[in-house]
C-alpha cells in the first residue's frame, strides 16, 4: 500500500502536514490523545479552539498546529460506545470521512490519525478497526488527496488489531490508487 500505513508511535511527534485529534465535542482538551495534543501544541491551540464553539460528534474542524511538528490539527469528536446500538459505527465512520474531506478541501497532503474513540470513549478496538479502515480505504479509492494517510497507534497491540483487519480485507487489493 503506497498511500496508507499503520505505525506505532507518538502522534504529537508526527511530521504529517495534519494530525487528527480524537476530541470531545467542546474541543477544549481532555484526556488521552486529546490532552496530549493540547499539551504538546501549547496554550495557543486551546485559544483557537475556543473560537470554534465546539464540534458535533462525527464532524471535523481545523486549527493550526502551533508547537507541534504538524502544521494543522483536525479535531473530530468520536462517539462514546453505548453497546453498538446507538449509531456508533455510523458516527465513527463519519469522523474519518469528515477529516479526510476537510483535508482534501484544504489541500493537505498527509494526515495521521489516532485510533478514534477506542480509549476513554470505550469503543471496542476490533470493531473500531473495521469501521476506520473501511472509511479510510473507501475515501482513498475515490480521491487523490491526501496523498498519504497513516494510523498512528499508541501500542503494538493496537497496531496488531489494525494490521490483522487490514490484512483480512485489504492486503490483496490491486487498486494502485491505494
Q: What is the pLDDT along the chain (178 residues), one digit of tens a residue?
A: 589 999 999 999 999 999 999 999 999 998 899 999 999 999 999 999 999 999 999 999 999 999 999 999 999 999 999 999 999 999 999 999 999 999 999 999 999 999 999 999 999 999 999 999 999 999 999 999 999 999 999 999 999 999 999 999 887 665 555 5
Q: Let me know: does 150 contact 113? Beta carbons within 8 Å.
A: yes
pLDDT (0 to 100) of residue 2? 85
CA distances from 135 to 91, 101, 126, 165 (A): 11, 11, 15, 13
Query: Locate cell 494490521: which residue?
Result: 163
Distance CA 52, CA 127 (A): 30
Q: Which residues are catalytic?
A: 34
CA distances from 78 to 39, 69, 164 (A): 20, 24, 23
Q: For residue 112, what are the β-bridge partners?
A: 19, 150
Q: Let me know: does 108 contact 143? Beta carbons within 8 Å.
A: no
Can you name the CATH fold of 4-169? 3.40.220
Please report the DSSP string for 16-67 in residue order.
SSEEEEEE-TT-S--SHHHHHHHHHH-HHHHHHHHHHT---TT--EEEE-TT
Cell numbers found for residue 130: 473495521
Amino acid at each position: 500500500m503506497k498511500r496508507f500505513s499503520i505505525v506505532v508511535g507518538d502522534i504529537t511527534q508526527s511530521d504529517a502536514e495534519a494530525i487528527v485529534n480524537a476530541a470531545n465535542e467542546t474541543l477544549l482538551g481532555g484526556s488521552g490523545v486529546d490532552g496530549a495534543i493540547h499539551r504538546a501544541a501549547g496554550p495557543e491551540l486551546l485559544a483557537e479552539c475556543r473560537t470554534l464553539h465546539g464540534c458535533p460528534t462525527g464532524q471535523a474542524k481545523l486549527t493550526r498546529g502551533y508547537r507541534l511538528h504538524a502544521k494543522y490539527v483536525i479535531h473530530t469528536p468520536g462517539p462514546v460506545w453505548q453497546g453498538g446500538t446507538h449509531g456508533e459505527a455510523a458516527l465513527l465512520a463519519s469522523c474519518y470521512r469528515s477529516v479526510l474531506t476537510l483535508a482534501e478541501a484544504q489541500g493537505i497532503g498527509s494526515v495521521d490519525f489516532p485510533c478514534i474513540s477506542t480509549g476513554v470513549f470505550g469503543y471496542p478496538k476490533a470493531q473500531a478497526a473495521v469501521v476506520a479502515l473501511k472509511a479510510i480505504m473507501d475515501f482513498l479509492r475515490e480521491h487523490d488527496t491526501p496523498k498519504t494517510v497513516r494510523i498512528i497507534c499508541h501500542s503494538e497491540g493496537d497496531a496488531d488489531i489494525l494490521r490483522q483487519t487490514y490484512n483480512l480485507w485489504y492486503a490483496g487489493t490491486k487498486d494502485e490508487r491505494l
